Amino acid sequence: MKKLMIFIVILLCLNTIRGDTYDAIVVTNSSDVIIDYIIAESYSHKADVPVILTDPESLNVSAKRSLLGLRSQNAKRILIIGGTQAISRTVEDEIRGMGFDVDRKWGTDRDETAAIVAIDLWGESENVVLVNGNIPESFLVALRTSYVLKAPILLVDKDRVPDPTMKAIEILNPDHIYVVGPEIPDISYLKADKKNVGTNIKISEIKEKRKISMDYASFVAGLLTGGILILLLYRTYKRKLSIEVPMFVLTEDERKIVDAIENMGGEIKQEELPEKTGFSRPKVTKIIQDLEDKKIISRVKHGKTYKVKIMKKFVKT
């Protein structure tokens, strides 16, 4: 509770400070995964960074020129949203070859991708936007609502709240859930205040409330100008959020690898993992590469093998 109160005070007076900073977000231009674009745009508006669209298998000319322009202005960090089926490793390698550090956020499906982005890039949020991921007609209204609130978008199905979405809501701990569009499952059991956009509340009304909130935030920020101690607490808290990961973001095979490493105190020789997990050496190598790409583990050369170390703390909820 004490940490939550500190976080609320910090959000009021340091509204523009972010823990994760990227210079651009790259997503696929494929219409089959338009939700990746919506999720990217949501964070883009919050963080004031551009979204760049590219072909799935290789950087198109427009994307390449945009990235070169950013690089000429000393941009360094690029975020890819979507797995390798949405944006190939070839594209990721091309971007790295241009001199960028590349991070990728993705899940096994769109529900999980939205949840991971919300958890990693928001940490906590006063508001959450909820929309049925199977109804594209609702996407732009959800995005517009997200713009106003600077809130993450989470996905549901007609008959259920997917587990990743449920976990994200628990971690984000919102005060308000803004529901957009039809075919939303029963969410009456969620403790947050529920508002139906377009039914019992209009986007213009959300804007009005946001304006009042921002005026209050400016007043508080003025009173607390020079609060260096609070800033240090904020950064410490954000660093903690950045190294805590919910276990559901891993596949079943990845969990076995992570469990094996954690059982050995968080560090193990890679050559010992086949015996610990029952996986073949090629399979272990592939899973380790995926975990390394997600910055979940690190590898250091150790003789003829590698020493594998867990980099993040897992929340098994």
Mean pLDDT of 145-170: 94
Q: What is the pLDDT of residue 226?
A: 53
Mean pLDDT of the chain: 82
DSSP annotation string for the chain: -HHHHHHHHHHHH-TT--SS--SEEEEE--GGGHHHHHHHHHHHHHHT--EEEE-SSS--HHHHHHHHHHHHTT--EEEEES-TTTS-HHHHHHHHHTT-EEEEE--SSHHHHHHHHHHHHHSS-SEEEEEETT-GGGHHHHHHHHHHHT--EEEE-SS---HHHHHHHHHH--SEEEEESS-----TTSSSEEEEBTTTB-HHHHHHHHHHHHHHHHHHHHHTTT-HHHHHHHHHHHHHHHHEEEGGGS-HHHHHHHHHHHHTTSEEEGGGHHHHH---HHHHHHHHHHHHHTTSEEEEEETTEEEEEE-SEEE--
Q: Which pLDDT tens digit goes with each residue over 168-177?
A: 999 999 999 9
Strand partners of residue 28 = 54
What is the pLDDT at residue 33?
A: 74
Smallest CA-to-CA distance from 58 within 93, 97, 33, 102 is with 93
How confident is the model at residue 90, as a pLDDT? 95
Do 133 and 182 meet the contact criterion of CB atoms below 8 Å apart? Answer: no
Q: Give the pLDDT of residue 247.
A: 63
Q: Which of 151 and 249 is assigned the larger pLDDT?
A: 151
- Looking at residue 251, its pLDDT comes to 83
Examine the pLDDT at 232 and tell me if it is beyond 70: no
Identify the pLDDT of residue 238.
45
Return the higher-pLDDT residue of 301 and 68: 68
Tell me the average pLDDT across 120-127. 92
- pLDDT score, position 14: 37
Taken in order of first residue, the domains within the chain and their CATH numbers are 2-206 (no CATH), 250-315 (1.10.10.10)
- At 50-83, the pLDDT tens digits run 999 999 999 999 999 999 999 999 999 999 999 9
- Give the pLDDT of residue 290: 84
Contact 234, 10 (CB under 8 A): yes
- Which of the two residues, 14 and 77, has the higher pLDDT score? 77
